[in-house]
Structure 1
Amino acid sequence: MVTPLNSLLIYMEHNESISRSEMLKWGKNESRGIIGKMEAMSLVKRKDDEFRLSKNGYEYINNTLENLHVGTPHWDGMWRIVSFSIPEKDRPKRDKFRRFIETLGMRAFFNSLWVSPLDIKSKIAKYVKANFLEKNVVTFEVTQNGTFSNTENLRSAWDLNPIREKYLNFIEKSNEILKSPERSDKYLLKLHIFEFATIVQEDPNLPIEFLPRDWPFYRAKQMYKRLRSAVVG
């Protein structure tokens, strides 16, 4: 489901601007909170009672839409392992690092070990260096042997059911939109495409060897292409 903030951003992108009176569609109090958050994130610029996307706002949208071009990788047979120890006094830094490796698709296997089948070494190394964590983070690679030979056991670290449900809901809603008069509403189509991009962003993008045969991403991707055709058509 698209957040109110994202729906307002896409509305601005589609219409170039939005007036304060138009924002009442999102509710008086809620729209005030959304705009406040947008301004705090430097996503919009204001002129009198009119709001437009800022450069950061367009980048926010484009960075999210970049997820639509991500392909499904094949596994090279290597596991990437991260172990980190960041003291309690640096808890914000520790929490931020944990969120970062989660966005890369890593999941906790043991309490102190995070694992991924994706080749993300360079991204982690860049983050670690930029945040002065060289003494707190260890990364290494292993092949399928010993503890890491049980692929099924490791696969259970990723709960794919929530993402599966989101893909299935997207497919169902897309069918409904494309069969209804709403298919001519380009703002609604753009909003739905953006929703798909946010789902892909949440997807850990596991190698195809780790996905169930009936994984709905591929059907959802076809639906996205039909929606895109309706936008440009």
Structure 2
Amino acid sequence: MTTLTETTRAGAKPRALIVTIYGLYAREVGGWIGVAALIRMMAALDVDESSVRSAISRLKRRELLAPRRVGGAAGYELSDQAREILDEGDRRIFGRQRASLSDGWLLAVFTIPEAERQKRHVLRSRLSWLGFGTATPGVWIAPRNLFDETEDVLRRSQLADYVHVFHADYLAFGDVAEHVPKWWDLDGLRALYGEFLDTFGPVLTRWRRRRTPDDAAAFADYARGLTAWRRLPFLDPGLPPELLPRDWPGVRAAELFEELRERLAEPAHRYASAVIAPQR
């Protein structure tokens, strides 16, 4: 069974917030944001300048951001790798559909030589973030509708040569629903959804009651909410509803996020645009 680690449960770090900001606002203006604008937006998220610069350095080392000056202003632009990651994230966060039982399953079987065991760790990590669970130590399982994403990620990660992927149906024996908690860490995922509901339920309540618009506050709450939410579609395999426990919190959490998005995305965009535009 794939287990959700304590690292996954950690709160939003400055670099995760920066990735959210670039994902939401940088691509529509060519991928570049000035340092001064980024520091100002991060200040709205209660992150100080030294933490911003430290997080940028980490993103540079990971080759996700590259320095560039525009009109004399220092700033950072997205790398091609970062754009691919963000595009994949958009598909998972905003466009992913829940699987149907009639879709069937994917089985991923892999063998990696001991001399390349680091790739084994990377492959397992990629499969987990695609939504695969562990049927047995060498066989990973996911809903059939994840095939296109799986093929794309494994090819881009140069891991496709080590994996065989099969389309399968469950024929016998037993009830698939009984096996699902063995293949995926549903308890861990339930806890993460509960954490999201506990944190952002009160935020949504405040915005339902709010009468005076505040673009900066909308930006702060939306950026934090999206940063907390965007990991969840990468951990949730999108199983058919029939295989999930009753009162699955993922449904309520998704509805909460969508309402936050509907209420906050537009004013948050106005705030970010007003901060970014003078730098360009």
Normalising by structure 2, what TM-score?
0.66
- The equivalent of 2:259 in structure 1 is 226
CA distance in 1, matches of 2:150, 2:232: 23
* Residue number among 209, 212, 217 corresponding to 2:245 in the alignment: 212
- The SS at the match of 1:51 is strand
CA distance in 2, matches of 1:197, 1:113: 27
- The equivalent of 2:55 in structure 1 is 34
- Structure 2 unmatched runs, 5+: 1-10, 27-32, 268-280
CA distance in 2, matches of 1:85, 1:11: 38
- Decide whether aligned partners of structure 1 residues 174 and 33 sit closer, same or farther in structure 2, where only a CA change above 3 A counts: same
* Residue number among 204, 210, 220 corresponding to 1:188 in the alignment: 220
CA distance in 1, matches of 2:263, 2:159: 48
CA distance in 1, matches of 2:252, 2:149: 30
- Structure 1 unmatched runs, 5+: none
Q: Is 1:17 paired with 2:17?
A: no
CA distance in 2, matches of 1:31, 1:65: 24
CA RMSD of aligned residues (A): 3.5
1:36 partner amino acid: S
The answer to whether the 8 A contact 1:46-1:52 is kept is: yes
1:42 partner amino acid: L
- Larger relative contact order, structure 1 or 2 (CA cutoff 8 Å, min sep 6): 2
CA distance in 2, matches of 1:21, 1:128: 36
- Decide whether aligned partners of structure 1 residues 49 and 212 sit closer, same or farther in structure 2, where only a CA change above 3 A counts: same
Higher relative helix content: 2
2:260 partner amino acid: L
% identity of equivalent residues: 19
- The equivalent of 1:96 in structure 2 is 122
CA distance in 1, matches of 2:156, 2:192: 35
- Decide whether aligned partners of structure 1 residues 77 and 204 sit closer, same or farther in structure 2, where only a CA change above 3 A counts: closer
The answer to whether the 8 A contact 1:128-1:137 is kept is: no
- The equivalent of 1:154 in structure 2 is 179
Q: Is 1:8 paired with 2:18?
A: yes
Matches within 5 A, 1:24-173: 26-27=47-48, 30-40=51-61, 41-47=63-69, 50-54=74-78, 56=80, 60-66=85-91, 67-76=93-102, 78-121=104-147, 124=150, 127=154, 131=158, 134=161, 136-146=162-172, 149-155=174-180, 156-173=182-199
Alpha-carbon shift at residue 95 of structure 1 (Å): 2.4
CA distance in 1, matches of 2:20, 2:164: 40
- Decide whether aligned partners of structure 1 residues 186 and 131 sit closer, same or farther in structure 2, where only a CA change above 3 A counts: same
CA distance in 2, matches of 1:159, 1:132: 24
CA distance in 1, matches of 2:167, 2:88: 29
Deviations 1:168-226 (A, max 9, x none): 22223223223447983122132112321222222222222221221122222222222
